[in-house]
Amino acid sequence: MPQSIIMQKLIKFPNELPVETTPFNSGDNKQSFKTTLKSLGKTEYIDEELSKFQVLHPIGDSFVGKGYLEDGSSYDLVAVSTNESFNVAKSDNEFLYFWGSKKAIIEHGIKRLIDGTIGAGNNRYDSKTVTIDLRALKKELEDGALASIKGGWWRELMIADVEVAYLGGGTVTESENWNDYEKTEGIISALRLDVPNPIEKNKDILSVLLTKEGNLVVYKKVDEKELFEIAIPLFNIARKHLI
C-alpha cells in the first residue's frame, strides 16, 4: 500500500499547544468544523530528534437529500462528516514532515490550520510548500550511493506534440531521449528512485517516487521509523536544491 510523506518549509509554529482553528462552516451553515494541532512527543526516528504532533481534522460534504429507513419512514439528509487525522514532525532546521493520511486530506488540513489561525499571534500556524530542482538533485544522486534513478516525468519540454513524457529503465539517464530532454527548458516533475531497503535487509532496494513539490511516495506499507529512514536522507539532499 503506497504512502506519502510531504516536506514543507516552516514559517510559524504555535507557542502553546493544543491549538484550535476558528470554526469553518459547511455550505449550509448547519455544521462547523475545527482543526486541532496537539503534541505527541517525539517520532520513532533515532538518527535525528524530531518533535511529533497530530492534526485532528474533521471534514464534511454538504448536500440536501432524503434517507429512508426499512419501515418506510423518511428523513432529511443534510451533511456527512468524517474525523480525519494525520501526523506532523518538526525539525530544528525549520522544516515540517506530514504523513499518516491521504495527500489530499493532509493538504486540506494544512490549509485550514493556516487560514484558521490567522490573527492568533504567537499561536499562529503557517507553512509553505517547497519546490525542488530535480535536475540539480538528479546530478547529486548520480554522484552518490543514496539512490539510483529509474525514471522521470518531464513537463514543459518545448517539443512538438509532447506535453508530458515519462522515461524509465535501468540506465534511463544515459538514454538519448533523456539527453534530448535535458537540452530543452523542460522541468522534471518527479523522479522514480530505488533506495536502500530498511524493511527487508535481505532485499537491496525499495521503489519510491519524489515529486518537485516535496512529496515522497513509498510503494510499500512501512512503519514510522522505517518511513523516516527512507525519507530523511532524501529530504536532506533535496533541501539543498530548493528553488
With bands split at pLDDT 50, 70 and 90, how would you rate the model's confidence at 177?
confident
Residue 96 pLDDT = 98
Q: What is the mean pLDDT of residues 33-39?
A: 95
Residue 163 pLDDT = 66
The whole-model pTM stands at 0.86
Residue 56 pLDDT greater than 90, yes or no: yes
Greater confidence, 178 or 152? 152
Greater confidence, 205 or 240? 240
Residue 51 pLDDT = 98
pLDDT digits (tens, 9 = 90+) for 109-157: 999 999 999 989 999 999 999 999 999 999 898 877 688 888 898 887 7
pLDDT digits (tens, 9 = 90+) for 149-160: 888 988 877 665
Q: What is the SS3 string spanning the chain? A: CCEEEEEEEEEECCCCCCEECCCEECCCCCCEECCEEEEEEECCCCCCCCEEEEEEEEEEEEEEEEEECCCCCEEEEEEEEEEEEEEEEECCCCEEEEECCCHHHHHHHHHHHHHHCCCCHHHCCEEEECCECHHHHHHHHHHCCCCEEEEEEEEEEEECCEEEEEEECCCHHHCHHHHHHHHCCCEEEEEEEEEECCCCCCCCEEEEEEECCCEEEECCCCCHHHHHHHHHHHHHHHHHHEC
With bands split at pLDDT 50, 70 and 90, how would you rate the model's confidence at 242?
very high
